[in-house]
Amino acid sequence: MSKSIKWAAALLAGLALASAALAADEKRVTPKEAEAMVKKGVAYIKANPRDKAMADITEKTGQFVDRELYLTVYKLDGTAVAHGANAKFVGKNMIDLRDADGKEHIRERMEMAKTKSTFWQDFKFLNPVNKKMEPKSMYCERSDDLVVCGGIYKPA
């Protein structure tokens, strides 16, 4: 095979990989989408009976799940009252939960919620779509005695 054919084949392969990576990134949730989903969740909680709102937010195929974006709702003591990725967390106090680096991210989140009505928080968590441990940025809003959050995953 000549050098020019090898070069052209390598170039095409590189373009194909770059295109696939770009397509995968386009499917990622954006910070704006996470913020909008959290705001939608807060409004939904205020407009509906709490039990119904928490059940709907926990529904994996419901309106509060989009790709790897899902909502979580915690009481200020760290008890999960809704979790769009894992219903087994609902009703459990998660304050001592640690991420892959040992960070007590729920405890940190609840401390942040005591002084800020909205904030972003970084930690690592299992992406439910690709099953990889990835850096995550979580946008949260405190609403009365609840903290409503939705996050974006960033490729490691």
Asked if residue 34 is part of any domain, the answer here is yes
pLDDT in tens, 59-91: 999 999 999 999 999 999 999 999 999 999 999
Lowest mean pLDDT among 20-34, 101-115, 129-143: 20-34
Structural domain of 75: 28-153
Average pLDDT over residues 10-36: 59
Average pLDDT over residues 96-117: 96
Give the chain's mean pLDDT.
86
Q: pTM of this prediction?
A: 0.82
Asked if residue 74 is part of any domain, the answer here is yes
Asked if residue 97 is part of any domain, the answer here is yes
Asked if residue 5 is part of any domain, the answer here is no
**Domain count across the chain:** 1
Question: Do residues 155 and 134 touch, judged by C-beta distance below 8 A?
Answer: yes
What is the dihedral sign for C-alpha 86, 39, 134, 102? negative
User: pLDDT band at 26, cuts 50/70/90?
Assistant: low
* Portion of the chain with pLDDT greater than 90, in percent: 74
Burial 109-122 (b: 16+ CB within 10 A, else e): bbebbeeeeebbbe
**CATH number reported for the structural domain that contains residue 132 in this entry:** 3.30.450.20
